[in-house]
Amino acid sequence: MDIFGEVWEDYTERLCLNWDRMVAPGDIVLLPGDLSWALRFDDAAPDLAFIAERPGRKILTRGNHDYWWHRDATSRIQRASDSSLTFLQGNSIVFDDVGITGARGWRQDWDVTPGSGADQDDKIYRRELAYLEKGLRSIPESVRTRIVMLHFPPFDESLKPNDFAHMLREYSVDHLVYGHIHLGLGEWIDGDVLGVQYHMVSADIVDFMPRLII
């Protein structure tokens, strides 16, 4: 990542230091995608080992660069990974009355018309919406707090909310944790958005420090 500028210099060491200093073994750590540049699961092993070695129970969702994580292979990846890692893909997990689910999400900043070449993006967009809704439906009604992890933000380049944002409100989500946008590469939203607390957690934006959600 250091090819993207000085802000990424020694980022692995900084992230490691901040994580180990701030996170306790009993904490839950949310990682919304872009976890490894690897193209195959076997090649992602060093990056997943780095995450597994850090304190806390880690919850992971896919990013647009996680080519090693094929959505249909999530169960196999889960079985082959360290027990401190939980991979979310259309499912959810509950800790102390807090329900957590997530999906990669998708983003469309253009009109989708038949034959335009953007048809495939529309299919991905709808598929990711379906994964998110499946995960939200799997969270028990009894939980007191709902958290969603998305890699892509639920709005377009002009910050206009999309279907993912509407779904967050429909299912009474309390917190959204997302990334994808980086310093100098677009605008983002942080804070209360119609009752949902948005948390932008791209590593360079939070200065490689874990951000407290609840």
Indicate the burial class of 22 (C-beta count within 10 angstroms; 0-12, 13-18, 19 or more). middle
Looking at residue 177, its pLDDT comes to 98
Report the alpha-carbon distance of residue 127 to residue 167 in Å, rounded: 14
State the 10-residue block means of pLDDT for the chain, 214 residues long.
88 97 97 97 97 98 96 95 96 97 86 57 93 98 97 94 97 98 92 96 97 97
Report the alpha-carbon distance of residue 96 to residue 112 in Å, rounded: 42
Helix H segments across 3-118?
A: 11-22, 45-53, 74-80
Report the alpha-carbon distance of residue 50 to residue 201 in Å, rounded: 19
Give me the residue spans of the domains in the chain: 2-200
Looking at residue 165, its pLDDT comes to 97
Q: Phi/psi zone of residue 206: left (φ > 0), alpha (ψ -120 to 50 degrees), beta?
A: alpha
Report the alpha-carbon distance of residue 173 to residue 154 in Å, rounded: 13
Q: Which architecture characterizes domain 2-200 according to CATH?
A: 4-Layer Sandwich (3.60)
CB contact at 8 A, 146 and 172: yes
Looking at residue 3, its pLDDT comes to 82
pTM of the model: 0.93
Looking at residue 112, its pLDDT comes to 47
CB atoms within 10 A of CB 175: 19
Looking at residue 20, its pLDDT comes to 98
Helix (H) or strand (E) holding 99, with range, is: strand 98-103
